[in-house]
Structure 1
Amino acid sequence: MNRLWPQSLLGQLLLSVALALLVAQVLGATLVYRARAERLEEGMLNAAAFRLMTEMRGVPPLREMRGERPPRRRGMRRVQVTRTETSPLRTGEKPDVAAAAKLVDILGYQGIDPRHAVVVRRTVAADPLAREAAMRRAAFRPGRDPLDGEVIIAGVDLGPAEGWVTARMRVPPDRREGLWTIALQTLLIYAILMTVIALVARRITRPIASLTSRLERFAETRDPQGQIEPRGPADVRRLIEAHNAMEARIAALLDEKDVMLGAIGHDLKTPLAALRVRIESVDDEHERSRMAATIEDITRSLDDILSLARVGRPSDPEERTELSALVASVVEEYEDMGERVSFAESTRIVATLRPTWLRRALRNLVGNALRYGGQARVSLERAGGSAAIRIEDDGPGIPDGEIERMMAPFTRGDPSRNTGTGGAGLGLALARAIAEQHGGSLELANRRDAAGNVSGLVATLRLPVQAT
């Protein structure tokens, strides 16, 4: 059902109106058809009542009294009137009680009060008199089955002395000109209504579609340039104006944040650098090393905080980059420092990205692998329209219920994983933010051995790449 239902506002509106109009037209056609059938039945009962009254009063039809022959007209129904001692109703036939009551009412208005009245429908082939009349007319209407159709038989009981007077009337064939008229009317209404509604709805949906595209672009770039002009109905214009004002306010807040972070970074890094120089005067080498490590840890945490705050508004442009070469360069940095990092052979994969930011994300992931697992195995492969960079370690892993939480800022794992590791818990959060900035994602999963025990952690950085 969801596949058939359109997803756009314009499509849903047009389909809803079309379905409502279809239901209304079907109901209207049904009512018209029923009213037409009721009028036809009432007219035939009136004609039958007239023939019955003519027979009962002994008055010949007007044309017969004038000696005229009835003209042949399309749709003429021939009525046969007979007198019998018994009811025309056969055993097993079901009479039309409502029609009989109407027939009695019609005769009552003319001062005729029959003892009983019977109205029944019967096929032409099943009634001898109607069959005989139909076969006589067959010669004048070639190409039609003379026995096809029904005949209405209306009889009234006038008492033992006069017996039953019965009139037979051929039911005209079912003509559907009215239904065709309704169908054509429906198509015309559909064409007019759908055109008008499509124009009105398009006037509403086009600005909304532009606003949606602008929202997506602003969420990705945070660039206040390119706001859309308010247009469309008054409500839609007010929505666009409110969004433009909110967007400008957000951009102003982001600018203030960048200025504040720059000032904080400058004000903190300057005394840290001076402190780093002063500790050189400390004679105790062990204490000097501990103090230097503390200053380095503070500086690194400060860099992570500033980078995480600026990740949504990078200043460097995107570049077409060969991923395998970039990953290999990061791995070589750790190899030069004597770290246990390896990189598997990879094919050439090109992506448009910000190399500086991606190197930062890879360093965080490789650093985590070395810190908690003692070594890191890096691999790169193409999977459909994305590249997957995997970093594996042999550490204790992360509890399954804590994996998502561990990628939140300032979150650190359990003590068994973090004893002596330091850090502010920003490495994974920054790596995920960088991946999402490039339209990718970061996934963490525990690696398990044959016995089902956790044997390490696998971090997968996925990035969209160009088709080759």
Structure 2
Amino acid sequence: MTDTETPAPRPGLIARTFTMLWPHSLRAQVMGALALALLLAQGIGAALLYRAQHEYREEQVTHALAIKLVMASHDDFAPPPGPPPEDRAPDDQGAGKIGGKDGAKPTGPDRPQQDGERRFRHFHHGPPPEDVSRGPRTESVDHFALQAFDRPRPEMARRLSPMLTEQDVNPAGLIVCERPLAKDPMIQQRMERRAALMRRHINLPHPPPMEASRLLIAAVPRPGGGWLVSRVVVSPDDPWLPFTLIAQTLFIYLVLVGTMAVILRRIIRPLAALTAQVEQFAETRVATNQVAPQGPHDIRRLIAAQNAMEDRIIALINEKDVMLGAIGHDLKTPLAALRVRIECVEDDNERLRMAQTIEEITRSLDDILSLARVGRPSEPLETNELSALVASVVEDYEDMGEPVELDDMPRIVLPLRAVWVRRALQNLISNAVRYGTVAHVSLTREDDWAVVRIADQGPGIPESQIARMFEPFTRGEPSRNTHTGGAGLGLTLARAIADQHGGTLSLANQIGGDGGIVGLVAELRLPLGA
């Protein structure tokens, strides 16, 4: 790599993790995308709902504080001085009576309260307890200051100020804070009085707990001195809100996922059948068990187009086979006649050269016809002992006096087409003997593969030319001399046979200790479960 070249950026850890975890099937990807989208939508909806609920509660509390401060700031609505009604001692003439002087019925704002007191006294013979949940009344104090446990609420003070201004109440010096309910002295006094009344009249040992509630306090200076302090008890947030959102999310998940599952099943089933059909056709080149058009309209069109394409390909392959068969028949017949006629040639050398030429043409024709038929084998896979097949091929070369060596081999049995595998081994060993002087053959088992290696001691092949060696009519020796090489179809045919069995064929140079090439290794891999 030169100085001007920069390496391609590697994906980050998050991107690699996402790629690893992200599903690969169509159904899983659609379901995953739907789940992520629904999760995002529900999260945004929950945040907006919580915000709206929070703002609504804040508005309610702000209006309650404003109403109490406005009513208390006018003399007509100011609370009467003196202790609360339950602390007053009844006089001799008005004992057991609620009302004004001489038993006159009260009128105005105090009448409903006194009527409630009278009804409570009739049943419980005592003053009624005050409802703390409605919040204490507004009080007037000489001095107001924030405590250490108070939390200032300036945003609520900004919201409350215009409301007071509209009702002719000066908001200058307005203070709004939030205080724990249990730490407010006025609330504690009222709670103690309420508990005492409950124990005396209703026989309740303890008042209802209010620890989760909080208290909002608004204080505004009075024009003549002192402060008006208003309190509002704020109930705790709805504890069932998260469960409601979760239940809503689960319901939506069930509805959407169920609907998408039905739709995806209608789409994926014909696609899966079409995929199996294409895979089988790619392996066998035989259009069997074609899928009938089904599913949505787009999927039907795809299946119909695939079936038509397979029929067209089969027709072309059949036409090619017929043409090659005719060529083979038409050429072999005159070649056989030539073999007979050359016997009339008196010159032995000329007759020998003519016979070699006829043999070369016949061999090339056989290779071409074999390469054309290898993609469509007529014989099925049969269980054979590969080690015995390799040994048989090596023995044939040894009988011809060729320098072929065979290592000890394990017994390996697998399904294969023996005629085609024998042809591939013969081509590889012939190349090793022709170009590398000695062929060294070995057979090993590696995981789920049977590996046949044919190594020679020749000059090897340049790395840039190894891939091109598998192309038809390509030779390592550039001349067209038949004594130094064939027609250039041996490796092409051997790789086609390996592909036909679901295996691979590869070439690699052997590197010696000095870094130079000392030979070439052809590696034929066949799956044990083919």
Fold shared, TM-score > 0.5 on shorter chain:
yes
Relative CO higher for 1 or 2, CA cutoff 8 Å, sep ≥ 6?
1
- 1:110 Cα deviation after fit: 3.7
Residue identity opposite 2:177 in structure 1: V
User: What's 1:242 paired with?
Assistant: 305
- 1:162 Cα deviation after fit: 4.2
1:99-118 to 2 correspondences below 5 Å: 99-118=156-175
SS in 1 for 2:23: coil
2:329 maps to which of 266, 286, 290: 266
User: What's 1:333 paired with?
Assistant: 396
2:138 maps to which of 73, 77, 81: 81
Preserved CA contact (<8 Å) 2:507 2:523: yes
Preserved CA contact (<8 Å) 1:77 1:171: no
Q: Structure 1 residues 441 and 143, CA, compared in 2 at 3 Å: closer, same or farther?
A: farther
- 1:167 Cα deviation after fit: 1.2
1:7 maps to which of 14, 18, 24: 24
Counterparts of 1:464 and 1:143, CA distance in 2? 81
User: What's 1:306 paired with?
Assistant: 369
Counterparts of 1:72 and 1:267, CA distance in 2? 120
Decide which moves more: 65-74 or 209-218: 65-74
Counterparts of 2:226 and 2:528, CA distance in 1? 98
Spell out, residue by residue over 1:357-398, the C-alpha distance to the aligned partner (whole angstroms, 9 max, x if none): 111111100110111012211111111111111111111111
Asked if 1:43 is matched to 2:60, the reply is: yes
User: What's 1:28 paired with?
Assistant: 45
Preserved CA contact (<8 Å) 1:88 1:155: no
Counterparts of 2:378 and 2:251, CA distance in 1? 58
Decide which moves more: 431-440 or 115-124: 115-124
Spell out, residue by residue over 1:412-459, the C-alpha distance to the aligned partner (whole angstroms, 9 max, x if none): 225499894132211111101100100000011111222222111111
- 1:132 Cα deviation after fit: 5.6
Q: Structure 1 residues 277 and 182, CA, compared in 2 at 3 Å: closer, same or farther?
A: same
Counterparts of 1:294 and 1:65, CA distance in 2? 129
Counterparts of 1:442 and 1:141, CA distance in 2? 91
Asked if 1:98 is matched to 2:155, the reply is: yes
- 1:163 Cα deviation after fit: 3.5
User: What's 2:513 paired with?
Assistant: 450
SS in 1 for 2:330: helix
RMSD: 3.0
Residue identity opposite 1:155 in structure 2: A
- 1:188 Cα deviation after fit: 0.8
Larger Rg: 2
SS in 2 for 1:79: coil
- 1:116 Cα deviation after fit: 4.0
2:471 maps to which of 408, 412, 420: 408
User: What's 2:113 paired with?
Assistant: 66
Counterparts of 2:195 and 2:26, CA distance in 1? 60
- 1:223 Cα deviation after fit: 0.9
Residue identity opposite 2:394 in structure 1: V
Residue identity opposite 2:526 in structure 1: L
Counterparts of 2:512 and 2:406, CA distance in 1? 22
Name structure 1 gaps, 5 residues minimum: none
User: What's 1:151 paired with?
Assistant: 215
Preserved CA contact (<8 Å) 1:48 1:79: no
User: What's 2:104 paired with?
Assistant: none
Counterparts of 1:290 and 1:102, CA distance in 2? 112
- 1:226 Cα deviation after fit: 0.9
Aligned residue pairs: how many? 466
Q: Structure 1 residues 268 and 235, CA, compared in 2 at 3 Å: closer, same or farther?
A: same
2:316 maps to which of 249, 253, 272: 253
Q: Percent identity?
A: 52
Q: Structure 1 residues 417 and 89, CA, compared in 2 at 3 Å: closer, same or farther?
A: farther
- 1:238 Cα deviation after fit: 0.5
Decide which moves more: 452-461 or 194-203: 452-461
SS in 2 for 1:167: strand
Name structure 2 gaps, 5 residues minimum: 1-17, 80-108, 121-127, 197-203
Decide which moves more: 58-67 or 243-252: 58-67
Q: Structure 1 residues 120 and 434, CA, compared in 2 at 3 Å: closer, same or farther?
A: same
Preserved CA contact (<8 Å) 2:477 2:484: no
1:219 maps to which of 282, 286, 289: 282
Counterparts of 1:359 and 1:446, CA distance in 2? 24
Preserved CA contact (<8 Å) 1:350 1:466: no
Decide which moves more: 103-112 or 13-22: 103-112
Counterparts of 1:397 and 1:166, CA distance in 2? 100
Counterparts of 1:439 and 1:360, CA distance in 2? 16
Decide which moves more: 456-465 or 148-157: 148-157
Preserved CA contact (<8 Å) 1:322 1:349: yes
Counterparts of 1:230 and 1:137, CA distance in 2? 80
Asked if 1:383 is matched to 2:441, the reply is: no
- 1:291 Cα deviation after fit: 2.6
Counterparts of 2:329 and 2:269, CA distance in 1? 47
Residue identity opposite 2:31 in structure 1: L
User: What's 2:233 paired with?
Assistant: 170
Asked if 1:286 is matched to 2:349, the reply is: yes
Counterparts of 1:129 and 1:114, CA distance in 2? 24
Residue identity opposite 2:445 in structure 1: R
- 1:245 Cα deviation after fit: 0.5
1:374 maps to which of 407, 424, 437: 437
TM-score by length of 1: 0.90
Counterparts of 2:131 and 2:488, CA distance in 1? 95
Residue identity opposite 1:102 in structure 2: R
Residue identity opposite 2:488 in structure 1: G
- 1:229 Cα deviation after fit: 0.7
SS in 1 for 2:133: coil
Preserved CA contact (<8 Å) 2:130 2:194: no
Spell out, residue by residue over 1:155-189, the C-alpha distance to the aligned partner (whole angstroms, 9 max, x if none): 22343x14421212233223222232121111111
1:203 maps to which of 255, 263, 266: 266
TM-score by length of 2: 0.80
User: What's 2:504 paired with?
Assistant: 441
User: What's 2:13 paired with?
Assistant: none
Spell out, residue by residue over 1:181-214, the C-alpha distance to the aligned partner (whole angstroms, 9 max, x if none): 1211111111111111100011001111111111
- 1:338 Cα deviation after fit: 1.3
SS in 1 for 2:29: helix
Q: Structure 1 residues 64 and 295, CA, compared in 2 at 3 Å: closer, same or farther?
A: farther
- 1:462 Cα deviation after fit: 0.7
Spell out, residue by residue over 1:397-418, the C-alpha distance to the aligned partner (whole angstroms, 9 max, x if none): 1112211111122222254998
Counterparts of 2:483 and 2:473, CA distance in 1? 16
